[in-house]
Amino acid sequence: MTSGEVSEQSERLLKQLSESGQRLIGYFYPHIPLELLMAHDFMPVLVWADSTVSGAYEGSLQTFACSFARNIFSQRVRDQLSVLSGFIFPGNTCDSLQNVGDIWRVRFPNDIFFRLTYPAGGAGRAAVKFLAEELRILSKGIELKLGTGFSREELRRSADFVGRFRWAVQFIYAARLINPDVVSYSELAKAVRGFLSVPSLDSLATAEALLSKVQKDMDAQGHTDSVEKLSASLLERKIETPITPEETDSPRIVVLGGMVEPTDIAQLMESTPGGSDSAIVFDMLSFGFKTVFTDPLSLDGDPFEEMARATLKAHLEPTQEGLQKRLDFLKGMLSNLSIDGVIVCEQSFCDPDQFEAPSLENSVTDSGIPALRLPMDPEMSDKSRLSLRVQSFLETLASG
Amino acid sequence: MSDEKPYRRLETQALLQQIAFRHGLEAMNASEEGNLAWVTSGFPVEIPFAMNVFPTYPEQAGAIIGAQKIGPEVCGYAEDMGYTQELCSYAMVSIGSTDRPDDVPMGSLPTPQALLACNNICGTVLKWYDGISQMTGAPVYLLDTPPLEGDQTPHHREYVRSGVERLVEFLSTTFQTSLEEERFREVSELSSKAIHLWTSALKECQKSPSPLNCADRFLTMAPVVSSRGTEHCVEFYEALLEEVQDRAKQGIGAVREEKVRLLWDNIPPWFALRFFNKLAAKGVVFPADTYTHAWSGAVEGTDTRSILDAIVDIYSNVYLNKGLDAKVDKMCQLIKDFDLDAFVMFSVRSCKRYSLGQYVSKEIVTERTGIPGVVIEGDMVDSRLFNEAQIETRIEALLEMVT
């Protein structure tokens, strides 16, 4: 299934849910506590870039706006997001999304608009307090503008619900590092996309069914303990112990990048001659690893502080924390996870991606591992060229 | 035919070279002594100055590279390192000139011991300084001032305040120094004086004819950016204000025959400042611009605590750290206060924070003020993106609407 078909399927599902009375709220930046939105009785819907959308932004945005921002803006112009009761824009994450949020408010004055501003720079306790207050303001705003208050009971339920999903996919991510053939990257990416698009009982069941299969296989292969330990290390962002992966036919590739669609990457790899998406043993993408490896929400303290703490502990985006933290993590990964090659994805006109790509590439090649830079846009408008580059990269890995 | 130029050169401008030369020497000495920090243009330099850490500005170096018309070449050095042409050209020439300093004699900066970034001007600064840190080994300190949605809230103030306090700790540890109240008060008073003098000079341009044009202000803003907090900065602006007031009193304009008064929005194309002089020949003057009016407040306080509070307030509220509404308000206010006929918005490919939203702002500003505007496209340093003929056509069309 192509990402366009996945989009269509999600759209249909969201329409059905909306018609059945389920209230939906959209967000664009993946590091958001889903539990908070669910505690207001909303289903949080991640708005993905739609590869089938062509430009409809020209009257409002210059062409040098990031291609992801242009894509979501075009979706709104084409009235594709009408099932959503409100939109949550991130603040202080990148200049494109910051300004597109402002433009959105002017162009679509009847939309219910919220801004959740994130701290940058890893200011520790002060950052947690700041984000906690931002979340509190968001919560009050939702109550005021959309009429449903914050429920602690719903928060408890959603913490369990979201926690189950995260635990399942964290296990699968770790299991694939040990044996990537246990389940394809495409299946994992689709399960994540399915849940983030429509976090329903059905999408949770899909992720948990995948988990059962993976657990069974890992158990049979005697890897359960190793997977659990590795999953915990990934959550703590410390990979210090080498693993011994199962032998496979494909090279072991990690995909790095930002708000790039994992299912598009999986599909690109599958459609490349000589490629197989099992070759992708791990991603460090915003809509993949970076989002799902978030701590479970603790219900012990102030809920807003706990949500802020969990959010900021996750593997963040380049504009939120310094480069060194991510390079250290990458180094641990390259040293201990038997990686053969790295693909660095760059969304066109995405400052964070493009600024970081040379440093990531250098860090990888300094470790003696080949790297491929892959500039792309959400529409995958140059797919044949991308495929050719991936093919050539795979050939390099095979000959090395 | 007269050889007289259509614009008047400021006498004070001659002092700029001395200040720039002095700043360069001081930066070199500071680097050799291990006390040099690179800072972003919206950074509260009063703190490093007071702690005897010398600040210098890559953006200013970028402007110099642009003015020398070597932007594309130096951007190319960064492109050779794997950075894409789509990125901020200030960052690109900074990275390029750091990699190949010998090839950029007038635009490379001495090696820093620390990199101090404040994201009140854009989110790019952290990534840019991360890149420089990789090349020089200097640590990065980010003073995070999240963009404001409206008025500054108590939790925002508290958060930025904690960042300012951590900055003092960072500088103390990195440079083995401390923040002494007397020196801090002295620096903040000097900074405040310079800003008052500068804003007074800008205000004189409300008069007609305007005593300053755009290019005058873009050049004379350099010391308030790089040297506020020093005696010589104050002396420069005293001289500038005197000359500007004198011009205003005598009815001497920056442009000999002022006919049309326009607003400029955004960073200028540093490689094409003569663009403003060409327009001067048609009687076009720019008495105001959003770029040099970014300084809206002065750092004033009686003790360390109150000065730090003022820093939190002022540096959080800079023009680029506010939303589109605030930008539109500022443009409308400038149009009213400076009695302007039209506005020109320079869409700078490099600067998303400044430029994205201009199409929308243009419509709103026209709706609110009743005057026309035009968006022209290009870049501040990379002249490859500047189509002069196309821009002239657009400006001509605008002028036809107002004359």
Bond prior to B209 in cis (omega within 30° of 0):
yes
> pLDDT, tens digit, for every residue of B61-70?
999 999 999 9
Whether B123 sits inside 8 A of A120 (CB atoms) is yes
Q: Which residues of A38-59 are buried (b: 16+ CB within 10 A; e: fewer)?
A: bbbbbbbbbbbbbbebeebbee
Report, as an integer, the average pLDDT of B299-313: 95
Phi, psi angle pair for B283, to nearest 5°: 80, 15
Distance CA B355, CA A62 (A): 8
Distance CA B369, CA B361 (A): 12
> pLDDT, tens digit, for every residue of B143-187?
999 999 999 999 999 999 999 999 999 999 999 999 999 999 999
Whether A121 sits inside 8 A of B163 (CB atoms) is yes
Does residue A331 sit at the B interface (CB-CB below 8 Å)? no
Burial of A243 (0-12, 13-18, 19+ CB in 10 A): middle
Whether A62 sits inside 8 A of B127 (CB atoms) is no
- Count how many domains chain B has: 1
Residues of A in contact with B358 (CB under 8 A): 62
Interface test with A, best of B77, B79, B83, B84 (most A CBs within 10 A): B84
Residue with tokens 């105001």: B288
Interface test with B, best of A29, A64, A100 (most B CBs within 10 A): A64
Domain, as residue range, for B16: 1-403
Enumerate residues 210 to 249 of chain B having a beta carbon within 8 A of any beta carbon in chain A: none
Distance CA B57, CA B41 (A): 7
Residues of B in contact with A62 (CB under 8 A): 347, 349, 355-356, 358-359, 377
Does residue B169 sit at the A interface (CB-CB below 8 Å)? no
Selecting from B86, B123, B128 the residue whose C-beta is nearest the C-beta of A349 gives B86
> pLDDT, tens digit, for every residue of B44-56?
999 999 999 999 9
Regions of chain A where pLDDT drops below 50: none
Instruction: Give the distance, in angstroms, between the CA of residue B371 and the centroid of all CA atoms in the same chain.
Output: 26
Q: Taken in order A82, A83, A86, A90, is the CA torsion positive or negative? A: negative
Q: How far is A60 from chain B (nearest CA, A)?
A: 6
How many residue pairs from chains A and B have C-beta atoms closer than 8 A?
Answer: 160
Does residue B288 sit at the A interface (CB-CB below 8 Å)? no
pLDDT at B267 over 60: yes
Helices A185-197 & A3-19 angle (0-180, nearest 10):
30
pLDDT of residue B1: 45
Distance CA A209, CA A341 (A): 30
Selecting from B122, B146, B360 the residue whose C-beta is nearest the C-beta of A119 gives B146
Phi, psi angle pair for A298, to nearest 5°: -80, 140
Interface test with A, best of B143, B356, B359, B380 (most A CBs within 10 A): B356
Residue with tokens 């004379």: B220
Closest-CA residue in chain A for B144?
A: A120
Distance CA B263, CA B342 (A): 6
**Cα angle at A97 between A351 and B291, to 5 degrees?**
75
pLDDT of residue A318: 87
* Helix segments in B68-153, DSSP class H: 71-80, 89-99, 124-136
DSSP-assigned beta bridge partners for residue A356:
none
Q: Which of A46-60, A69-83, B216-230, B249-263 has the lowest mean pLDDT?
A: A46-60
Mean pLDDT (chain B, rounded): 95
pLDDT at B2 over 70: no
The structural domains of chain A, ordered by start, are: 3-153 (3.40.50.11890)
SS3 A358: helix
A82-85, long-range: CB < 8 A, 24+ apart: A83/A11, A83/A14, A83/A15, A83/A17, A83/A18, A83/A24, A84/A24, A84/A25, A84/A26, A84/A45, A84/A47, A85/A23, A85/A24, A85/A25, A85/A42, A85/A112, A85/A146
DSSP state of A81: T
pLDDT at B294 over 90: no
pLDDT at B202 over 90: yes
* Residue A201: other Cβ atoms inside 10 A: 8
